[in-house]
Homo-oligomer: A and B are copies of this chain.
């Protein structure tokens, strides 16, 4: 049969590869860093890439569940909170064929990655990334842009500090992400307005040479979701 008479492929179930990819961001010595993992299989076997994997339609409830499973299984890291970044799609992004990558990003304190202790996880500064396989470079850039633009409107940066922190420590995280100095008084007013923090009863940070500083943490109802400000910091 001549090629142009071959019937078109069926579209249901359609021949699309469905994967999740995760962008795990943290603050380390190199500033904002992303976690990479060497790929165990072709394509790009042995190359550092975003932790990802196929949707397991028999096990995963949804894309979010698949991303949590992939992160936990491949890096040992349990994240309290993931946010969907976007779907990266098309015929050109994966040599295996037409593919959809559902991407999710998470912010974790550096200590969480260290505690998980996965030998293959490598942190690389987002401004020092070399070429990544697939469109992973574009995915990381989109996650960093989303994080930076959300920082001034939300409690998102709170996920980068540890469980307990002082207000000056938190302010430095916001400043690192937004790339600008913030006024202390207006930062504290905006944090009060955001209303996501609580003082840790009787717990003080005594590491500073000046007087002890009150320690804060996220209020329980904000440990797995965002608080939003209508106007930015």
Beta-carbon contact of A12 and B63 below 8 Å: no
- Residues of A in contact, count (CB < 8 Å): 35
Is the Cβ of B58 less than 8 Å from the Cβ of A87? no
Check: A203 CB closer than 8 A to any chain B CB: no
Stoichiometry, copies per complex: 2
Check if A45 is an interface residue, CB within 8 A of chain B: no
- Name the residue in A8, A89, A96, A232 with the highest tally of chain B Cβ atoms < 10 Å from its Cβ: A89
Partner of A63, one of B15, B61, B62, B100: B100
B102 and A57 form a contact (CB under 8 A):
no
| A141 contacts the other chain (CB 8 A) | no
- Which chain A residues have a beta carbon within 8 Å of chain B's beta carbons? 8-9, 11-18, 54-58, 60-65, 84, 86-87, 89-92, 96-98, 100, 102, 231-232
Residue of B nearest to A228 (CB): B149
Q: Which of B14, B58, B60, B91 is the one whose CB lies under 8 Å from A62?
A: B91
